[in-house]
Amino acid sequence: MSYVLIRSGETDFDVEARVQGTIDLPLTIQGRTEVDAAAEELRSVPVEVVYCCPGEPAFSTARVIGRALDLPVKPLRELDNMHFGLWQGMPVEEIRRKQPKVFRQWQEDPTSVCPPEGETFADVHARVLEALRKPVKKGQSFAIVAPEPLATLIGCVLKGEEPRLAGPLERPLQIVEVIQPPAAVEPASIARGFGLSALRRLSYR
């Protein structure tokens, strides 16, 4: 059993270094090329279903992969990207210039910052745990398509690592990441761990 984390293909906001959050944008030509390459890479990986963020970049990415590999695609609203409130659409550089202290904190610990009128990390983490509960409990091999910073958080949860978010200037090197769950942990026990105890550890945020 394995999980496959797929980061959404490139959009114009990625090119322009803007905060995308939940804004729906189509893939760029480069983004589509990235997705086609990801689909080819996954042909040798056993996957039963593709779950995805319902936002346009992730759904478009998942749809291409689903068609290429003849897999069902299931959008989950709990996997929607983090809502960045008033920061959505803003250039990252503008946030750095106007709010230097907050930006520095965002770089050093992205989980500690709540954008104005946006989501807290605890809320995002809670819904990601809920979204992953059933797929993990089923013990199936699946792929998940999500944009950053959500993809980093999903990867941490599936690996059993301390939950974190990608920072504003963080650009993961790989689009496709095959994750082997910890050998000592059964799927059912992982699913049971997606509960209040995990959230209590984040109560100090």
Residue 1 has a pLDDT of 79
Query: Does a structural domain hold residue 30?
Result: yes
Ramachandran assignment for 171, one of left (phi > 0), alpha (psi -120 to 50 degrees), beta (any other): beta
Residue 182 has a pLDDT of 65
Residues contacting residue 29 through CB under 8 Å, at least 6 positions apart: none
Q: Which domain holds residue 89?
A: 3-200
Query: Does a structural domain hold residue 10?
Result: yes
Mean pLDDT over residues 7-33, rounded?
A: 97
Query: Does a structural domain hold residue 19?
Result: yes
Look at the chain and report how many structural domains it folds into: 1
CATH of the domain at 70: 3.40.50.1240
Going by pLDDT thresholds of 50, 70 and 90, the confidence category of residue 2 is: confident
Residue 98 has a pLDDT of 97
Position 181, amino acid: P
Residue 87 has a pLDDT of 98
pTM over 0.85: yes
Q: What is the pLDDT of residues 160-197, one digit of tens each?
A: 899 999 999 888 778 999 998 765 344 554 455 444 33
Query: Does a structural domain hold residue 177?
Result: yes
Q: What is the pLDDT of residues 35-94, one digit of tens each?
A: 999 999 999 999 999 999 999 999 999 999 999 999 999 999 999 999 999 999 999 999
As given in the structure block, the two tokens for residue 23 are 């804004």
> Nearest CA to 56 among 81, 82, 89, 84?
81
Task: Tell me 74's DSSP state.
Answer: E
Query: Does a structural domain hold residue 23?
Result: yes
How distant, in Å, are the alpha carbons of 7, 55, 123, 204 from that of 111? 19, 21, 11, 11
Q: What is the pLDDT of residues 92-119, one digit of tens each?
A: 999 999 999 999 999 999 999 999 999 9
pLDDT above 80 for 27: yes
Mean pLDDT over residues 3-9, rounded?
A: 96
Query: Does a structural domain hold residue 205?
Result: no
